[in-house]
Every structure is written in structure tokens, then in C-alpha cells.
Structure 1
Amino acid sequence: MNKALQELAEACQKDFGLENYYLKRYNIFREDNPTIDNDYLFSMEWFPKDTQEVEEDLNPPGTAVVEIELHSKKLRHFSFVQGVNLVEDQIFPQLKDGSETVIEWVEELTGLEFGRQFQLAEETDDGIHLLAAADNIPVFPVGTIDVTFNEDGLLSHFSKDGSFPGEDQIKWEPFALTSAIVDPIILDQMQLLEIPLEEQERWLAVYGTTTTFITNDQQKVIPYEKAEMRDSYSVIDKNIDWENGSVEDTFEAIDIDLSDEVSIEEALAAPPNKNNQPITSGDKEKSFQAVQSFLQQKYPDDNNKWKLHTLSRERGYIIAELRPKVQDKKVIQQKLSLFLDATTYTVLNFTDNHFILEMFSHLEEAESPNLTKDEAFEKLHNHIEVSPVYVYDPVSATYQLCGKVDCSYGVDAATGEVILLDEL
């Protein structure tokens, strides 16, 4: 084992009371996080010393699975398989200690401050759920901390995921969005969608709102997907057609490697995370040409049927999402997802969700709407929530105050009934 990893493993064994355990396996993974340039995790599987022989790649009850941030050396995940905590001298808080003691332990472990950087979201019979915050205002993308205990009240799981901004990353300002400001924006965002009701074997037309963010200065509406992925996500919406006829189909799919595992050499070198790089004008042009050529080979009868909807980065690839140029109101649309080499822009593989559409082909069409969008908005108005949230801005590497628009309800476009969407 590399010396740096050896030192981390020894510190882990000492700090978490794993003297009666031995290190069985370890790996290094790269985590994609839009708010962090690099995040490498040193993952270890510690077996109890009296473990009997088990099948290869299986972890016996009581195995401690630990993930440490390679560069900051902070704990990211810690869990005992099947909740069996066999640590002899418990250094962890216990369920009986209460949530205040557990939160104090989280503060000490993470270096984060309760109230300033995270808040209590939920307290359950077996633990607590915490969320990233800036002075008790949520942030997005979401950061979470979970602490759970087993039946004996001993620690069984700790995890910290996502980002927790520092004070220097927050653009402090009073929340200025009022109903008079946001109502016209929300009305513009409302959509008429058709949802499948499988038990009733029909489609239901529903007016509803999509989750979006409105900047506090009222200058911009940020779609949920854009806020989640930011510069590595770009909406293109460009129609794809070609003048030439069909061409020879020479496309051969190549297996896609979606593994996060990396070598110790790469992790220690910490190269810039390519998945966080913006989609440039050159990326757009070359990706479009590659997508066009692919369609001409694999879907020669679909000239002028598709549009390049978005480009994004994932696991080192550029992902091109294609949607039909002409779409109906159904929430499930045919979609092609193409995996492109991020350097050569060659299409390596693709997926087509057409088989999902076939599952709903027998459903009866939705009734025609009897309500206008304005009438539906009036019925939904009291159910629409606009709450302050700090959203990460990759350009300035800060969090800007926005209003998050959310609504759990929709309006039946035929009857005018207000319905809870989760119950459909």
C-alpha cells in the first residue's frame, strides 16, 4: 500500500476504535460534485479479527466500511454491515445521548457549525437527518448528513454528502421576492402535462408547475437541471436534419465505463475534474456534427424528426440528449441518450427509451382540457411554495439567493379538481 494511504488507514483504525478489526480491502473513487473541483475518496473495508471465511467480495456482519476524503482527510461515510457495531471501546455518541450531543459530535467531526452551515431536517426513532444551510436557509445542490443507530442504540451509519458552503461563499442579502413579483413568472412556467394512470388505463391531463429557481434580483429563472449541474449542462434545442440521403451504417457500440474507481497516482495528482468543465461553443458544434452523423446511420428514416436538447458531462463523457422535434403533452417522451468521447466527440454508445413508451401504448387518451392555464393557476396559487434558498453559481464560486418554486399539487384539466401529484 502507498505510504500516504497506509498513514490514513492507521489513523482511521485509531480514531474510530477499530483495534479489533483488520483492513481487508480498499479502493479509491472520484466523486463528481459540481461545487468541488476534486473529491477523491479512500474507501476501506475493515473486517472483525475473528471473522470466519466468507465468499469473495462479500462483507460479513460487523464489517466497518469507511470512506475518507483523500486530501482533506475528513470522514465522509462510516457504516457497519447489517448495523452490527463490534467496536470494543465506543468512541461514538449513542442514541441515548440525544440529538444535541449527536449534533455536537457532527460539528466536531466535520468542522461545520450547526445553524450556520447545517440544520436539523428530521429526527427519527433511530437517528437524525441534517441538511446543508446558510444561516438556516437551505442551499442547492443539497448537502446532507445522516446519523443512524442500531437496535442497541450504537452507531450504525454516518454519511456526509454534497457541499456545505463556507461564509465567504455566501452573497448575503435580504429575500426580496414577493407574490406580485413571482406570480407572473410562475404562471409562465406552468405546463399542461399528461400523466399515465395505469390502474385506470388512461392518461390524465394535469396543469402543474415545474421546480425552478428565481434569482433574488429577478433577472433569471434557473431550471432545476441547470441549477443541479450548472456549467456542465447546456440546453441546445437545435433541430437535426441532413440533405444527403442514407449512408452506410458503420457504427459499432463500445462499452461505456461508468466506474468511479481511479488509481492512487491519479488521485494524488488531483487533475482538474473534467466533469465540471463548461460546455463550450466548440463542444456544441462538434457534438452536433457527431450526433447528426450518428442519426444518419442508425436512424436514416428520422431526418428532421429529432432535436439536440441538451449536452452535459458525466463520468468523463459528453452526454447528448435527443428529443423529438414535435412533442405531445405526455410526461414520458421518446428520448435518445448518446455517449460521446469528450476529446474526439465520437459517439461511443447510446440508449433509446422507446420500449418504455410501448408499455403505455394501450392507455386511453386524456380528456380535452376544460380549464385555461390562468384558471388552473388560480386554483393552485395557495398550494405553490416560494422559499428562499442559496443556489451555487460556478462562475463566481459563490451561492446566490433565489426563490425556489415548488408545488406538490396539480389541477385536473378536465374537472378542475386539485389533486396531490404523489397520489397519482
Structure 2
Amino acid sequence: MGQKIQTLIADTKQKFGLVEYDLLNYSLHHHVDIYGQTSYTIAMEWLSKFETGFDEEKNPERNAIIDIDFHSGRVVRVIFVGGVSNATYAPFINKSTDEIIDWIEKMTGYTYHEQFQLEFEEPGHLLFRECFNGIPISPSGYIKLKYHESGQLTTFIVHGQFPCKELIKENHFMLTTENRQSIIEQQLTFTTLPSNENKTMKSLYAIEEIFVAYSGDKTYPYEFTVQDKPDTPVHKILSWASPIGRPFVRKPIQFNKEITLEQATNCEPHPSTRLFTEQELVKCIEVTTNFLRQVYPQDSGKWILTTVHRHHHYIQAILKLVESNRFIFKRKLQLSIDDRTYEAINYLDNQLLLDAYDEYKAAGEVLISKEVALEKIKPYIQITPIYVFDKVQKQYILCELIDCHKAIDAESGEMLNLADV
């Protein structure tokens, strides 16, 4: 155990009043943020002296799990199992919400309203969302805080980037009404959803949410924006002339999430941060094509390799069908490739999940036009300002989130709540 680790452990014990706790174990980890930068944490597990024994299969109440940033010393996560604490540290006795927010600002270094804002509050529980000057951020982070009625901290989790103003791109534009209306028309899509109430399919018109830059010259699909992993676009249709006859043998995926003290001290980059070279992308395409030739030999030209990204010492290749139906859940493959040997190791296919809907009754005849549906749904469309992280510009761009929680039944014209379908 190095001096740095000893100091972090001692500081943690003092900061959180862990007099009645013994350090059970610790480990070092590294993570990649949406900026492609590596952060390092020390994860500690503390055993309450009130516990007479320890069972590795379950974590007893009162035990504490605490993660600290290895270099800055900032708190990443504090959890007292079962919401029960024997700590002497009780910072929330008779504290107001404003006083609790002051505590969070001191603990994190973030500024209220500028970088985080209150979303939910009840006695002993507060949830804050990441923002910039009160405007939400995507991908979204949060701060969760829970405390016992005796004032003891029981949960404190800080997740997200909470960007400073230097990462915010100034905006000098305003999205025009004409641009917005055109995009809304494009986003009103005809789709089929399963209704579990009577196991039938429903044909609906619904708004596919999207982020639109205030400049009006760029949009960000929702699904590619909310994810926080760095990915590399490929967008190549995979074709072949002949199958590969030998069967594909799956191998287990093995992650070694712990790192050494030397790696943390030297700020060794996470394997996931390494950019793909052109040669590596060619290899990914070749390996993925050969995998399809083995497992889906009749599907030449039917799959498109959309993106690849690194995950520890694996490459995750994401594939979607070139032609898809209007069903809301799309067919998808995820192939895991060893990034050292470029061997296909394992894969996930969501076809089994989709098969569960085969017994659902087919949707009825479509009687409502898109134009009629658009007029009906317009009053319920929500326009929300939001800062979206642009992975190319490495800045947050002010956008509008166009969304709607309503849908129009394409058979009856009835207005529906999407959450109820």
C-alpha cells in the first residue's frame, strides 16, 4: 500500500466519521468520460464494528462503500448499506435545503444553478440534475443525496461531467419557426408498438425525439446523444459471396476492471480511449463480416455495421438491419472482438426479445393520415432548451429537444399517452 493510498484512506475515515469502522478492502479503477479522458478512483469497503461476521455473498447493513477520485480526492460515491450508518459524521441535523446545497457545493466544487439544480425533494432525500445556468445537459448527470433523520449521511452519488463555461459554445442564433415546423413534420413517424394490456399491436403516429441546434444547421439523434461512451461511426453494409462452414464458438467475456497503483499514479490512459486507425477499422469490418458469414450466412447485404467502440480490451461492433419494419424495437447485434488478436469472441442478438411479440395480434387497418395526426398532436409537442455535447467539436451546443409524450392511434384517431401503451 503506497503513501498516496494510505493518505486517501485516512482522509476518508476522518471526513466521514468512520471511527466505528474498519477498512475491509480497497481497489483501484479507471473510467472514461464523454470527453475521452480517463479518471481514476479508489473504491473502499468499510466494515462496521457492530457486525459480528462478514458474508461475502451479501453486504450487511451499516457497511460503507466509498469511492474517491484518486488524484483530486473528490467524493464520487458514498453508500451506507441499508440506509443505516454508525458514523459519527452527521452534517444534516436540522439543516434546510439551502444549507444542504451549500454542503454539496463544498463537497463537489460545483456551483448551484450554474452546474446543478434541484429536481426532486422529500424528507431525507434530494436529487439534483446536471445543468448549465439552469438549462439541462445531455448526456445528463445527477447528484443523489440521502440522509437519516438523525442527520447522518447514508447516500451521496455524483455522476456526470458538470461542465464549466469554457466548454459551452456561445450561441448567436435562434431556431426559426419554419425550421422547427419542418423538423416536427419529419419527426412524426408511423410506428407499431406492442400493447401488453390485451397482447395486440398498435399502429401509432408519434414524435421521434431529436435535438436540434439553435443554429438550425445540425440535429443530434436522441439515441446517439444520451449515451456516454465514445464511439466511432462506420456505416458500412456488409456483403459476401460465400458463407463460412465452420460453427462459431462463443467464448466468455472477461473484464479485469482493477488497475495497479503504478497505472493510477502515472495516469495510464484507459484502453477505451485509444482511437481507431484506418487499418484497425478495416480489420473490424473484416472480422465482423466473417462472423456474419458463420452465424448468419444467408444475410449478405442485410446488415450495416453502424459503429465500433472500445470497452476495456474488447471492441464492441454494433450492427443493425439495412431494411427494418415499422416496429418500434429494432433488430440489433453486438459483437465483441478481442482488440489484441482481432478474434470474434461473443455476441448478443436481441431476436429472442423480439420473438416474444410474435403471438401478439396484428394491428388494425390504418385509417388516419399523417396530416390529420400532425394537426392533432401539435398542441402536445414539447420544446425544451438543452445543451448537447457535440463529440466532434468537443463542446456543448445549445439545442431544442423536440419531444412528445402523446401519440395518435392510426386506426381510431384517439389521443394516447405513450406511457400507457
Q: TM-score, normalised by structure 1?
A: 0.92
Is the partner of 1:129 in helix, strand or coil?
Answer: strand
Cα 1:313–1:153, aligned 2, differ >3 Å: closer, same or farther? same
Post-superposition shift, 1:254? 2.1
Post-superposition shift, 1:266? 2.3
- The 1-side partners of 2:341 and 2:381 are apart by 45
- The 2-side partners of 1:405 and 1:270 are apart by 40
Per-residue Cα deviation, 1:45-102 (whole angstroms, up to 9, x for no partner) = 11122421122353321112111011111001112111112123x34224x3121110
Aligned residue for 1:155? 153
- The 2-side partners of 1:233 and 1:174 are apart by 29
**Within 5 A, what are the aligned runs for 1:252-401?**
252-258=249-255, 260-276=257-273, 281-401=278-398
Post-superposition shift, 1:285? 2.9
Aligned residue for 2:91? 92
- Please tell me the residue identity of whatever aligns with 1:93: F
Q: CA RMSD in A?
A: 2.2
**Within 5 A, what are the aligned runs for 1:10-409?**
10-35=10-35, 37-56=37-56, 58-88=58-88, 90-94=89-93, 96-173=94-171, 176-229=174-227, 232-244=230-242, 246-249=243-246, 251-258=248-255, 260-276=257-273, 281-409=278-406
- The 2-side partners of 1:231 and 1:44 are apart by 25
- Please tell me the residue identity of whatever aligns with 2:97: S
Post-superposition shift, 1:360? 1.2
- The 1-side partners of 2:65 and 2:222 are apart by 33
Asked if 1:7 corresponds to 2:16, the answer is: no
Contact 1:233/1:278, CA 8 A, preserved across alignment: no
Cα 1:148–1:263, aligned 2, differ >3 Å: closer, same or farther? same
- Please tell me the residue identity of whatever aligns with 1:400: I
Is the partner of 1:102 in helix, strand or coil?
Answer: helix
Aligned residue for 2:413? 416
Q: TM-score, normalised by structure 2?
A: 0.93
Per-residue Cα deviation, 1:123-166 (whole angstroms, up to 9, x for no partner) = 12322111111111111111210111235453211110011001
Cα 1:99–1:51, aligned 2, differ >3 Å: closer, same or farther? same
Cα 1:231–1:332, aligned 2, differ >3 Å: closer, same or farther? closer
Aligned pairs, number: 421
Cα 1:60–1:404, aligned 2, differ >3 Å: closer, same or farther? same
Is the partner of 1:403 in helix, strand or coil?
Answer: strand
Is the partner of 1:333 in helix, strand or coil?
Answer: coil
Q: Which moved more, 1:123-132 or 1:387-396?
A: 387-396
State the percentage of identical aligned residues. 28
Q: Which moved more, 1:276-285 or 1:155-164?
A: 276-285
